[in-house]
Structure 1
Amino acid sequence: MNNFSYAKASTVDQAISHIDGDIRNKIVAGGTNINDLLRYFITKADKLVDINSITENNSIIRLDNGGIRLGALHTNADTAYDPIIEERYPLLSKAILAGASAQIRNMATNGGNLMQRTRCYYFYDINTPCNKRDPGSGCSAISGYNRIHAILGQSENCIAVFPSDMCVALAALNATVNISSPEGERVLAFAEFHRLPADTPNIDNNLKHGEVITSIDLPAQGFEKNYSYLKLRDRSSYSFALVSVATGFEIENNVIKEARIALGGVAHKPWRILEAEDFLKDKQPTRENFSAVADLILRGAKGYEHNMFKIDLAKRAIIRNCFMALNPESQRPGAKPSL
């Protein structure tokens, strides 16, 4: 770990001032990801700016439009177990609790969850080429062991995947991200926050240098009646998703009036296809329709030597999770399966 200076900010303005628009200055909150990045020499910091003392961004509040604002410094655990989230946004609660461990969720913050970086093996191995870590050096995963890697949205420069569970639910819920900068405030649609790799896989998101995430807004619609989060992984805990699916439905008289389906573990960002969601509108929740929507979501999917199985796995996961969303009670321990 390289030497760095330390600064503590008690307001957003102080944090922005300490960062000073310099890419070499980094923010630390829960520290559950950046500490690893520093320890393994994946990133360097001239200055760490500690924002844990900022009090205005560590709560959950109701908005006048019926939605909810999640403070960026509110922990993942406190968010998942908040009565408002459990009641109105159970999809988000379930997704958060599927991630990491209880200890990490107690430390990790909502803003930090958006900023975490890939867990690609080669990204963490500084002795191997990685365009995300060292632009222009090559992508070792393409011809290497790529079992956990992307099948959608990848490029010839990077096939890494984004690891978050929480963000898959936020994508399905149409969240927005509130950002502060020296120039003022701005709001970014969640769908526009993370980036696909293209020619710049080293740039994970559209947050600019010197900007700070202050909160995340959820619209009033939470799909609390018909929802499901399904995470398929190599072991039942402490493991990142091979494929995950967040699904929310609005259903009237056995007809789907609105559908949201987002995938994790398959791309460089949470994956949504609006055309596929529109396909389900005014249709009945049948296997035939769920299979068709899975084909639309996975159109253009491309596998590699060790992860070809993820294409079929993703299709089966989408179909299964759509059925699970019809009966959220089926997700409780001991309940009979939906299929």
Structure 2
Amino acid sequence: MRPFTFTQVQDVDTAVQEVSAEGAKFIAGGTNLLDLMKIDVMSPSHLVDITKIALNTIEETEEGGLRLGALVTNADTAYHELVESRYPLLSHAILAGATAQLRNMATNGGNLLQRTRCYYFYDTQTPCNKREPGSGCSAIKGYNRDLAILGTSEHCIATHPSDMCVALAALEATVRVKGPQGERTIPFAEFHRLPGDTPHLDSNLQPDEIITAIDLPAQGFAQHYTYLKLRDRASYAFALVSVAAALDLEGSTIKKARIALGGVAHKPWRVPEAEAFLQGKEVTTENFRRVAEAYLLGAKGYGDNTFKVELAKRAIVRALEQATKMEPTS
């Protein structure tokens, strides 16, 4: 780990001012950043500790939704009474990730900004465009079993590792941020980026901006939902494929459907046009299969991960069937 300076701030405006310095990064729970610093993947010259800022509450909004403070821990979010009762999809997704110890430390804002777990990103002896732009992508012709099959580019096939973000994508959350130019909101679908030719940029958050909160809309799909996570072992593993599925049903007719995939792309993957197909349709396995096919259009395997294409299709069908039956998890 390289030397760095450290400042603790008490308010958002000071935090924004401090992080504007070259080489500065925010630190809160630090569950991902500190690991990357130890192995020299990230080497900020200045850390800005934001844990004392008053962004650690969960409150109802005037629109009938819920505002999750950026510094609320993942554990406190998952077990919060209003989250459990009104947004159980989010609660289940959070509890499917990491370990209890990490969830006790990790923050909501930090979860959105965690980096990929691609083997080559973590190995500083191999080329990686995400770690060193222009050096190449070792994963495309290397071992890529855990990596992306959708939204990839010739420069990167990394995946976003978060479970929480998959649920937030399905719920159509909004991210609130603040920078030198003031406050702004980012729809969750626009927060994370696909790799394109700039895979080192994970999100559309500017370097001098701070996440202050995540807003959940009024509709939480609390009746018919599921979070399905398929992985190599039952706990403490990242998803090969995950599905956050949420349905609004009237009898056996689908009024609204939301589906987000994890473990398959550089960001939580949604296809709104495929979701719209289900509107007004009956709950049938055949309709679910047609949606699954639409979600995987353009999917491309790279050898070790080619199996994910069929796995993701089957996972979508299974998740929608579970949501219909009010089975929240497997």
Give the TM-score taking structure 1 as reference length. 0.96
1:37, CA displacement in angstroms? 1.1
Q: CA deviation at 1:330?
A: 6.5
- Counterpart of 1:11 in structure 2: which amino acid? D
Q: Which runs of 5+ in 2 are unaligned?
A: none
Give the corresponding residue for 1:221. 219
Separation in 2 of the partners of 1:195 and 1:202? Answer: 10
Question: For residue 335 of structure 1, what is the aligned residue in structure 2?
Answer: none
Secondary structure of 1:272's counterpart equals: coil
> Deviation of residue 9 (structure 1)?
0.7
Report the alpha carbon displacement of residue 253 of structure 1 after superposing the two structures with TM.
Answer: 2.1
Find the counterpart in structure 1 of residue 259 from structure 2: 261
Q: Distance in 2 between matches of 1:21 and 1:181?
A: 13
C-alpha distance in 1 between matches for 2:83 and 2:20: 35
Listed as ranges, the matches of 1:164-313 within 5 Å are 164-313=162-311
Q: Is the 8 A contact 1:230 1:246 kept in 2?
A: yes
Deviates more, 1:11-20 or 1:220-229: 11-20
Inter-partner Cα distance in structure 2 for 1:63 and 1:69: 6
Match of 1:197, SS state, is coil
Structure 1 unaligned runs (5+)?
333-339
The verdict on how the C-alpha distance between 1:131 and 1:312 changes in structure 2, with shifts beyond 3 A counting, is same
2:22 paired with 1:18: no
Q: Name the aligned partner's letter for residue 6 of structure 2.
A: Y
Q: TM-score, normalised by structure 2?
A: 0.99
Corresponding residue of 1:160: 158
RMSD between superposed Cα atoms in Å: 0.9
Contact in 1 for aligned 2:169/2:189 (Cα 8 Å): yes
Q: Post-superposition shift, 1:331?
A: 3.8
CA–CA distance in structure 1, aligned partners of residues 207 and 110 of structure 2: 15
Q: Is the 8 A contact 1:118 1:160 kept in 2?
A: yes
Residue type at the aligned position of 1:196:
L
State the 1:120 CA deviation.
0.1
1:103 match: 101
Q: Does the residue aligned with 2:115 lie in a helix, a strand or coil?
A: coil
> Contact (CA 8 Å) 2:227, 2:329: kept in 1 or not?
no
Whether contact under 8 Å (2:227, 2:328) holds in the other structure is no
SS of equivalent residue, structure 1 residue 142 = coil
Moved over 4 A (4+): none
Q: 1:329 to 1:146 in 2, by over 3 A?
A: closer
Residue aligned with 1:260, SS: strand
* In 2, Cα distance between equivalents of 1:54 and 1:328: 39
Equivalent residues, number: 330
Amino acid at match of 2:300: K
What's the % identity of the aligned pairs? Answer: 62
Give CA deviations for 1:121-148 in whole Å, capped at 9, x if unaligned.
0000000000000101100000000000
Following superposition of structure 1 onto structure 2, how do residues 85-104 of structure 1 map, counting pairs within 5 Å?
Answer: 85-104=83-102
Check the 8 A contact 2:89/2:328 in 1, yes or no.
Answer: no
Q: 1:232, 1:243 within 8 Å by CA — same for their partners in 2?
A: yes
SS in 1 for 2:84: helix
In 2, Cα distance between equivalents of 1:145 and 1:204 = 22
Distance 2:179 2:117 in 1: 28
Q: Secondary structure at the match of 1:140?
A: coil
Q: CA deviation at 1:67?
A: 0.4
Q: Secondary structure at the match of 1:134?
A: coil
Residue 22 of structure 2 is aligned to residue 32 of structure 1: no
Change (3 A) 1:331 1:17: closer
Q: Per-residue deviation at 1:84?
A: 0.2
Inter-partner Cα distance in structure 2 for 1:229 and 1:143: 31
- Report the Cα distance in structure 2 between the residues aligned to 1:303 and 1:78, rounded to whole angstroms: 37
* Partners of 1:21 and 1:209 within 8 A in 2: no
Report the alpha carbon displacement of residue 29 of structure 1 after superposing the two structures with TM.
0.2
- Cα contact 2:74–2:103 (8 A) shared by 1: yes
Quote the offset at 1:291 in angstroms.
0.2
